[in-house]
Amino acid sequence: VALAESRTLINVVEACRHGARSPIVKHEWDTGIWPKGYGGELTPAGEHQHYLNGAVLRRRYVEEHGLLSPKYNSSEIYVRSTDYNRTIMSALSQLYALYPEGAQLHSSEMEQAAIPPFNVSNMQAVISELGMNALPNGFQPIPVHVVSKEYDLTLRGYDPLACPYFKEINKYVEKIGFSQQKAFKYENGLRHIIKNTLGTDVDYFEAWSIGDTLYSDWFHGYDFPPGITMDLFWEIMDNTNYTNYYQFTQSPDMYGARLASTKFFEDIINNFEAAMAGTSPVKFYFYSSHDTTLNGFLNGLEQFNYQNPPFASTLFFELYDEGNGGHTVRTLYNDQPLQLKGCTQPVYCDYHEFKAFLQSRIVPNIYKMCNVTYDYPGKQRGFLSDP
C-alpha cells in the first residue's frame, strides 16, 4: 500500500504464532524424525520461517520506514513470549534477522579486560577469534520477557490456568448442538477409521493429537503412515482445528473470544496512546504465541475465517501519524489488510474508530470475570445457561 506523503509510522504491535514444530504427543505410528524430541519443540524449519519474518520486518521497519534503529536499542522494542520453548525460540529467530549486526567492544583494550574472573586454558584463542565482536558472528542477544502460564491473561487468556472461567465456557460449548453433532459424527465414523488405520483409539475431544502429529509430518515432508490418504488427513484436520477454536466461535456473543483477547486489546490501546502522547520510547511491541492465541484475537476482531493460523502466522497493528493531527491504524493478518468493524476507510482506520471497536470487545473487570471462585451466577456473567 503506497504511503501518503504526510503519513508517518510511529508504532507497531505484532502477535505471531510460533514456527513449525514437532508433534505435541508421541504416537508409535509417527513417521517423523524429531531430533529435539516431542512436546512441540521448534524445528529448524520453524527457526527458518521466523528468521524470514524478521528479514521482512527489518526491510519494512528499519530500511523503509526508519521506525527502528539499524542496531538494537533497548528503549525501542519490547518482546514478550508465552512460557514455551517453541515461542521463545521463534521470537529469538525473528529477532536475529531484525537485528543481524551485534555490538562490538568499544576499544581494543577491552579484548583483554572484558574477561571472566577466572582462568580458562584456551581463553586467548577464543579472544583472538572474537576480535572486536562481543559475540561470535556479530550475534546480538535481545531479551524476551516471559509470564508464567497461570498469570498470562494477555497471550493465554483462553487457558483455564490463567482464566479459570474458561472451564465453564468449554463445558458449555461442548454441550451445544453443533459440537455434539461433530462429536457424534466422529464417534460413529472417524474414530473407528483411525483405530483401524493407526491402532489409536481416542474420543472426540482427545483426537486433536492425531491431527496435530499428522500436520507436523505433512508440513515437514514426512510420509503418512500406511492407510492415511490426503482426504482422510484433511477430514482429521477438520476435527482437530474445530477443537482449537470452538470455545471462541460457539460461545454466545463470542464471549470466549472477548475474554481471550481483552488484555491484548487493552495493551494495544495503552501502547498506542503512549506513542501518541510521547510518554513511552517503545516503538515495537512483539508478542510470540500460539495458533489458539491468534484464533482468539481474530475472533475478537470478528475477522476469523475458520482456517487455523499456519505456522509462523503474524497479526500486525501499525499506528500512523497522518500529519494533520489525526492518526490511523492499519491491521494486517499474514500481510493482508483487514477492515475492522466500524472503520469507514478500508485499510487505514481512523484511530478513534479503531479504539472504539476494540473497547466494544473488551470485557470489563477481566480478573473478576475469569475467577470462578467469585459468586457470580452464569446469567450475571453474561451468557451461560444450559443449552
- Which pLDDT score, from 0 to 100, does residue 205 have? 85
Q: Measured between alpha carbons, how far is residue 279 from residues 89, 271, 289 in Å?
A: 31, 10, 27
Query: pLDDT by residue (tens digit) across 309-366?
Result: 999 999 999 999 999 999 999 999 999 999 999 999 999 999 999 999 999 999 998 9
User: Whole-model pTM?
Assistant: 0.92
Share the mean pLDDT of the chain: 92
Query: pLDDT by residue (tens digit) across 157-181?
Result: 999 999 999 999 999 998 888 889 9
Tell me how many degrees the CA angle 150-79-97 measures, rounded to the nearest 5.
135
Q: Residue 269: is its pLDDT beyond 60?
A: yes
Query: pLDDT by residue (tens digit) across 61-78?
Result: 999 999 999 999 999 999
Q: Measured between alpha carbons, how far is residue 295 from residues 40, 61, 70, 140, 300 in Å?
A: 18, 26, 33, 32, 8
Q: Residue 386: is its pLDDT beyond 80?
A: no
Query: How do beta strands 284-289 and 8-17 pair?
Result: parallel
CA distance 136 to 129: 8
Query: pLDDT by residue (tens digit) across 132-161?
Result: 999 998 899 999 999 999 999 999 999 999
